[in-house]
Structure 1
Amino acid sequence: MFVRTASERDLAAVRALLVETWHATYDAIYGAKRVTEITDDWHSIASLKARLTRPNSEFLVADDGKRLGGMAFAATTTTTDPKIVLLNQLYVHPACQRQGIGQSLLDEVEASFPEMDILRLEVEEANAVAIAFYEANGFRQAGRTADCGGNSGLPALIMEKGRR
């Protein structure tokens, strides 16, 4: 798989990847109905399309020429301060996990923001696989939020990685 910038023609495949990955990861935590509600909102084509043109952001896909194996989206927290970058999404299709795709996406996110001092993310506390991945990549717990993504009402851990 090679990592490249996403385009509008990728959006249906990105949505399908996100829906499948979210159900595989979160059905046991939130229930299938709630996961469908979240993916219909957060991962709609309209929501994904808006990310393509967001300033100071990077929308990436991992592609083998036949299918997408993963995706990532990150953006500076403000348009005026490139020092803090929020990793909003990093997902690898369940059939493609543990093949280095997540690592490749994370490496490209970091390379895309040369002025960044802190890479921050929010992760569901029950998602032990994701937490272990981030800890193995230098992230440490920096706090908690009661509202993951700023509009979900779902609690999450906040993790950060400094680059100095």
Structure 2
Amino acid sequence: MFVRTASERDLVAVKALLVETWHATYDAIYGVPKVTAITGHSIASLRARLTRPNSEFLVADDGKRIGGMAFAAATTDQKIILLNQLYVHPDCQRQGFGQALLEEVEACFPEARTLRVEVEEANAPAIAFYRSKGFLPAGNIADCGGGTLIFEKAIG
């Protein structure tokens, strides 16, 4: 498996990955109808990320398929990077895809000092993953009828 910058040719596969991963992650939390309604990851919105300034759109590719993706961007404070998305296909979880994506995100922003991620408080596997990678609780946001936890990690 290798991590690389996403390209136009990856967008259909990334969209499929996001839809499947969102259902696997959030159906039990929000219910299938709500997840179906909010998983409209359009090719146009993904395409816009390819050229967004001060950001990185990455895929983890095992040579047969895209098993994971990450998108991160600098905030208004260039020292703080927001990891907007890090999703690994359920069949590829616990195989190093998430770790590799996270390491590449950190390497892509050498001037940054903080990596921040927001996680649905009911998403225990994601919380455990980020904690195992050195992220610490940094606050929360009331969101989507539930709560979103903020985690941060010192980098650089």
TM-score bucket (shorter structure): over 0.9
Tell me, what secondary structure is at the counterpart of 1:155? strand
Name the residue aligned to 1:106.
102
Distance 2:147 2:24 in 1: 19
Structure 1 residue 36 displacement after superposition = 1.2
Distance 2:36 2:146 in 1: 15
Structure 2: which amino acid aligns with 1:101? F
| Between structures 1 and 2, the one with greater strand share | 2
Uncovered stretches (5+) of structure 1, i.e. residues with no partner:
none
Equivalence for 1:56: 54
Counterpart-to-counterpart distance in 2, 1:87 and 1:114:
15
What does residue 87 of structure 1 align with? Answer: 83
Question: How far apart are 1:65 and its partner, in Å?
Answer: 1.9
Q: Distance in 2 between matches of 1:100 and 1:72?
A: 14
Give the alignment's TM-score, normalised by structure 1.
0.91
1:72 equivalent in structure 2: 70
1:44 aligns with 2:36: no
Query: What do residues 49-74 of structure 1 show as CA deviations (whole Å, max 9, x unaligned)?
Result: 11111000000000122200000000
In the alignment, structure 2 segments of 5+ residues that lack a partner are none
Letter of the structure 2 residue corresponding to residue 10 of structure 1: D
Aligned residue number for residue 19 of structure 1: 19
Provide TM-score, normalisation by structure 2: 0.96
* 3-state DSSP of counterpart to 2:4: strand
Equivalent pairs: percent with the same residue? Answer: 76
From 100, 113, 123, give the equivalent of 1:127: 123
Q: Which portions of structure 1, spanning 4 or more consecutive aligned residues, are displaced by more than 6 angstroms?
A: none
For 2:149 and 2:12, the matched residues in 1 are separated by 29
RMSD: 1.2
2:33 maps to 33
Q: C-alpha separation between the residues in 2 aligned to 1:56 and 1:74?
A: 9
